[in-house]
Each structure stands twice: as structure tokens, then as C-alpha cells.
Amino acid sequence: MSSCRVITQHLPNTDLTIALAGNPNVGKSSLFNRLTGAHAETANYPGKTVALNFGVTRFDGKRIGIVDLPGTYALGALSEDQQVARQAVLENPPDAIIALADATNLERNLYLVLQYLDLGLPLVVAVNLMDEATRAGITIDIARLAGDLRVPVVPTIATRGKGVAELIDAAIGRGVQGKEVQLGVPAQNTPKYDSEIEAAIDALARVIKTAPAERPYNLTPRALAILLLEEDAELTRAVAAMPGGTTMRARARELSAAIEARVGEPLSLHLPRARHDLAREIACRATSQCAEREPLSVRLWRWSIQPLTGIPLLVGMLVALFAFLFWAGGTMAEAFAGFWEAFVSPPIQAIVALIFGESIAGKIALWGFDAGIEAALEIGIPYVLTFYALLALLEDSGYMNSIAFLVDALMKRLGLHGRAVIMLLAGAGCNVPAIMGTRVLTTRRERIIASTLVVLTPCSARTAVIAGGAALFAGWQAGAGILLITLGLIIATGVGLNRLMPGRSDDLVMEMFPFRVPTPSVVARKTWFRFREFILTALPIVLIGSFVMGALYETGTIWIFNAPLAPIVEGWLGLPAIAGLTLIFATLRKELALQFLLTLALVQYGSGADNLLSFMTPQQIFVYALVNTLYIPCLATFAVLRKELGTRTAIGIAVFTILLAVIVGGIARYALG
């Protein structure tokens, strides 16, 4: 089995490595941030879309590497994040694993803890969210829990740093102890299930022990036996390839069949059931609850998912969100443009003039280094950054799950489940991060449908053209009309794709959890990492595109596209020929379509063409803004589509939107007379 050194590669020169594991929403990120501060990096696990966070902390004079594993409910081969969580600790065993458990729901959280113990890994359990447990009237008997699990257990409130020092201390102790334990000797604290299951595990472990080959990941015979009996896809495959593997698999099937004949379900379901039962027993023994209290956050959460209160709340929330985004974004964009023109643009222009003089090359360089970089940042900082911050707040408060719950029925008709609504919302800010966000969808079918709908969603740049072009010159009804037509087309496209594309989309299976106050450091980190990814993807494309467009424009080559575009632009859409050229330019930045139009109009018609209405009718402006809204948004979006879905699909989506824009634009022209 190939071993990848992802952890050592990201955490060199450390005395000790500790991995953080746990269910989603147990405060793992808060603990990670508290331990590592700002000095952390995120990297995708090789060949996977799931990311791991790496950081270093100092404790007692030791440099400790911290790996933040993906939050999962279980370990296994069932989903990519579960695979990564397991592979990361098996391929590169950390000195200790801190498993965080939610004090308000020990029963469900201990399932994962028991799975780690089944694997024979050195564990320390942190019972986190102790403050929330207290509010709900729950007390946890830590000593009893530690006694039952036979591992150190530390109560923590990660958001406030309570118990964190004790936790790290315990983990270091565990790590030192772990190193002394001889490899291959089964750990003492593996959970024991009922006698029937234990007999099956022992029988299979005996077969495994006699096998001549090295076991995958150097697993103990017991751990491997459990995984084979649970029909774990990855380990079953790995065992098939080793000498003696066929005997092991045959024995596993035989043992599973014998139990199935008695209990009526295969071991792959019976063992998880037994693990849940054990988790429940341990949780019950350690938990006591006085009168069940429902804190305000829980009551608020219940209102947010009742349709009668939840839907008005959702509508109000979205209106507030976008109003804030456009208001704050618009103000910041204006301020940024002013700042750029006053302080950044002049030195760039001076440097370019120094190198290239007044030549065409100099003008082309300015297209890229001045206007290009400004363009990426002017959309990026005000709109994308603000949007990401708001999105992180929605996610970390738990409200995103309420939204997904309410809109699942609608999204289902578009071939997606409720959680995909988040991408469409993100797309209204900027399509690039929204398409990156489709990674969380499990099937390719869902990713293609979601990406296509995101591409049709008017981002802030396109909304600027609708507002500043159509609404300004042709009346607000024109602007509202374009938005309504677009919304209709998004729904029609979703319904159509859902019917046409083979296969079916996954059903929603989502944990719902009451509202929680987001941790500022976690929100800031999330926002920053997403923003960085946006800049790294968008900036090079915008820069290169700007040079190419600059060269086409400054050398006059652009005008040769006029003739081939004329039949569509003049003949079918009824627009001036130069409008077609600006649609090419607008693939750099959609909001510049208007500006390009005015610039080219001045060249074509001479001065006096600085008002759109002097050479276009309101109907033409409507058609122009509509077409601009619908066709493939921009080069950066295309680049990210290509990266996420492959060249063919990206071209397919681009061609679809161009055809859609031309057809709908033409229909609009004839409908308006």
C-alpha cells in the first residue's frame, strides 16, 4: 500500500503530532484555531477534494504539530471525508488523537470514539461544549466516562479555552505512552461487544494472524477483523490483493452469514447496531439530566424550521443579506476604486511608461497590470470577501441548515437537495466561489446541475449592468423584467436538466442542530481561506485575459470580429454591431460591458455617443442587458468550471448559456417589437 507523507510534509520538525477528530459541529475548528492561531495552512488530501488543516502549537517547550481531520459521524469507506479522516491517521499515525465529543449528545458522538478505539489508536477524549450542556441541564460524570472508555477524558469549552491545557497535557502523556507500547501488540482498551460478535471477531482475527503477509496499515488482527466483518470497501479490496486474502474474505463472509441467519441482519449492519448500543450504554451511565430545559437558542431554531415562522424569517433574512451586500459592497467598491486611482494606478502607470514609453506595448501592459488587477480586487474585496464573511456566519450559526430544510422541496424539483441552495446564494455574489462550493455535492450529476444553475445566477457584476444599464435607461420595470426572466430560466433549466440527465440525485440526510453563536476566529479563518482561493483562481485569468483583450483593442484587431458577429448581433438580436464586440470584452468583467460599449461607441460614432440612448433604443438596451446576463459569465468562471468539471463539461455549459442568451435575446427583441 502506497504510503503518503502528507502529515510530515506539512508539519516538519515537530516533537509530537496530535490529530483532532470528531463529529461535525463539535467545536473542532475552535480548538484548532485556539491551538495554532494564525499559523496554519490548509491542503487537500492527495487525490481528494477534502481538505486537512495543519498547524503548530508550543506546549511545555515542545513543538507540537496539529492535524485537523474532517468532521465525520463515522470512519469508513462510505464517503470521501470519512475515508480521509481514517487514511490520514492510518497512513501516518499521529502520536495521539484527540476525539472531541459533544457533551449535549454524548450518545451519538461516542460512536466515532468507539470506532477509533476499535482501530487500536491512542486516544484522548475531550468532552466539549460543556457550557451548552450546563445550559441544557446536563451533567457529565467525567471520571465514570474515563473509567468506562479506559482512556483519558477531559472536559473542555474550546471557544473559551477552558480545559485546553489539560487536554494537550493528557494527549502528550498518551503520545509518550503510545511510543513505549510495542508495535503490533493490541491495545488494552478496545471495546467489547456481545459474545456472539466477539466470537466472530476472534475467529477471523486468528485467521488473520496466521496470514504470512504484512497487514494493511499495520492494523492489529482485531482491527482488521472488525473492518472486514463490517464489509469496509477499502480494506476488503486491500485484503483481496494480499496472499491469504481470499481465505480471510471467505471466512469473514461465512461468519457474517452465520450471524445473519440468527439475528436477521448482516454483520455490516449488526456491528454498527452493537456499537450504537454500547455508545448509548456508556453515555447513559455518564450522563444525568435534571429537568429538560429548552434554551432560547433551541426555541429560536424551532421557529426557523416551522414554515409559518421560518419562511417569512428566511425571506427577511435574504432581503437583509443582499441589501447589506449591495450597500456595503457598493460603498466599498467605490472607495476602493478611488483609492486605486489615487495611490496605486499612478505609480503603475509611471513604471510602465518608464519601461515601454508611449508604445502600444505600454498600453497593453496597463490593460493588465493596472485595470486587470484593479478589476479582480474591486469585485473580490468588496463583494466576494463580504459575501464569504456573511456565508461563514450563516454556516457556523447553524442557520444554513434551517434554510436547506425549508427549501429542500423546491430544490428537489431542480434535481438538487436543500443544501445546494447555499451555492445559488453564493453565486449571486460571485459565480467563481459558488462553483468551487459544489464540491460538497456527492454525485457528478448534482455538481453539473448546480454549476449550470450557478452560471445562470446573475452575480454582482451582472446585477450592476442590469441596474446601471437596463434600469437606468429603460426604466426599473426593465431591470425587474430581466431578473424575473433569469429566475424563470434558472428554474426551467433545473427542471429540464433533472428530467434529461440520467440517474437521480441524492436524498437529503442532514443533521439539524440548534443555533450556536459563531466563533469569530473560525469565521475569519474560513472567510480568508475561501477568499484566498478565489483570488488565486481569478487573478491569473483576469490578468492574462486583460493582456489579450488589450492587444486586440490597441492593435485594432478587435474590429475584424464585427463582420462575423453581424448576422447574430445585428440580424437576430437587432443590436448595433459594436454591441457584439463589447460582449466579447465583457467575458473579462461583466460589469464593464457598459463601459466598453460607450468607449467603442465614441470610436465608432464620434463624440456625442456618450449617452446610450443616442444610439440605442430602450428595447435594444433591454435585449443587450438580458443577453449580457445570460451568456457564460466570465473567463474566471469558465476557468473554474474547467478545473472542477473538466474541459468538455465546461465547454458544454458555456455553449448552452450562449445559445440560451442568443435565443432568449432574439425572442425578447421580437416580443418587444
Which residues lie near another protein (CB under 8 A)?
73-74, 76, 78-79, 104-105, 107-108, 111, 148-150, 189-194, 230-231, 233, 265, 268-269, 272-273, 276, 278, 280-285, 287-289, 305-307, 401, 404-406, 408-410, 412, 417-418, 504, 507-513
Q: Give 332's contacts (C-beta < 8 A, 6+ positions apart).
A: 381, 382, 386
Q: Which of 527, 542, 498, 497 is nearest to 637 (CA)?
A: 542
Please name the residue that has the C-alpha cell 426604466: 475
Q: Which is nearer to another protein, 76 or 479 (CB)?
A: 76
Question: CA-to-CA distance for 208 and 219, rounded, in angstroms?
Answer: 11
End-to-end CA distance of the chain: 69
Q: Which amino acid is at 9?
A: Q
Give the sign of the dihedral formed by CA 572, CA 577, CA 581, CA 586.
negative
Q: Which is nearer to another protein, 48 or 150 (CB)?
A: 150
421 membership: H or E segment, kind and range: helix 421-429
Question: CA-to-CA distance for 628 and 668, rounded, in angstroms?
Answer: 13
Shortest distance, position 443 Cβ to another protein, whole Å: 13
Shortest distance, position 278 Cβ to another protein, whole Å: 7
Count of CB atoms within 10 A of residue 567's CB?
11
DSSP 8-class letter at 99: E
Shortest distance, position 272 Cβ to another protein, whole Å: 4
Helix axes 520-554, 386-397, angle to 10 degrees: 150
Q: Which is nearer to another protein, 110 or 573 (CB)?
A: 110
Q: Which is nearer to another protein, 218 or 289 (CB)?
A: 289
Q: Which is nearer to another protein, 253 or 280 (CB)?
A: 280
Shortest distance, position 139 Cβ to another protein, whole Å: 12
Shortest distance, position 367 Cβ to another protein, whole Å: 49
Q: Which is nearer to another protein, 257 or 335 (CB)?
A: 257
Shortest distance, position 209 Cβ to another protein, whole Å: 22
Shortest distance, position 422 Cβ to another protein, whole Å: 14
Q: Could you tell me where the DSSP H helices lie in 11-159? A: 28-36, 80-91, 106-118, 130-135, 142-149
3-state secondary structure of 219: coil
Burial class from Cβ neighbours inside 10 Å (0-12, 13-18, 19+) for residue 451 reads buried
Residue pair 378/361 in contact (Cβ under 8 Å)? The answer is no
Shortest distance, position 31 Cβ to another protein, whole Å: 21
Question: CA-to-CA distance for 568 and 575, rounded, in angstroms?
Answer: 9
Residue pair 278/114 in contact (Cβ under 8 Å)? The answer is yes
Q: Which of 113, 133, 117, 136 is nearest to 125 (CA)?
A: 113
Q: Which is nearer to another protein, 26 or 389 (CB)?
A: 26
DSSP 8-class letter at 502: S
Q: Which amino acid is at 36?
A: T
Q: Which is nearer to another protein, 417 or 530 (CB)?
A: 417
Shortest distance, position 195 Cβ to another protein, whole Å: 9
Question: CA-to-CA distance for 168 and 154, rounded, in angstroms?
Answer: 10
User: What is the DSSP annotation of 176-198?
Assistant: HHHHHSPTTSPPTT-----HHHH
Shortest distance, position 241 Cβ to another protein, whole Å: 21
Strand 123-128 vs strand 96-102: parallel, antiparallel, or unpaired?
parallel
Question: CA-to-CA distance for 623 and 466, rounded, in angstroms?
Answer: 11
Question: CA-to-CA distance for 431 and 641, rounded, in angstroms?
Answer: 10
Give the angle subtended at the CA of 165 by the CAs of 163 and 167, to the nearest 5°.
70
Q: Which is nearer to another protein, 205 or 436 (CB)?
A: 205
Shortest distance, position 74 Cβ to another protein, whole Å: 4
Q: Which is nearer to another protein, 494 or 633 (CB)?
A: 494
Q: Which is nearer to another protein, 185 or 409 (CB)?
A: 409
Shortest distance, position 144 Cβ to another protein, whole Å: 10
Q: Which is nearer to another protein, 103 or 208 (CB)?
A: 103
C-alpha cell at 57: 502549537
Shortest distance, position 298 Cβ to another protein, whole Å: 10
3-state secondary structure of 67: strand
Q: Which is nearer to another protein, 133 or 565 (CB)?
A: 133
Q: Which is nearer to another protein, 214 or 511 (CB)?
A: 511
Residue pair 56/36 in contact (Cβ under 8 Å)? The answer is yes
Bridge partner list, 102? 128
Quick one: how far is CA 505 from the chain centroid? 18
Shortest distance, position 507 Cβ to another protein, whole Å: 3
Bridge partner list, 326? none
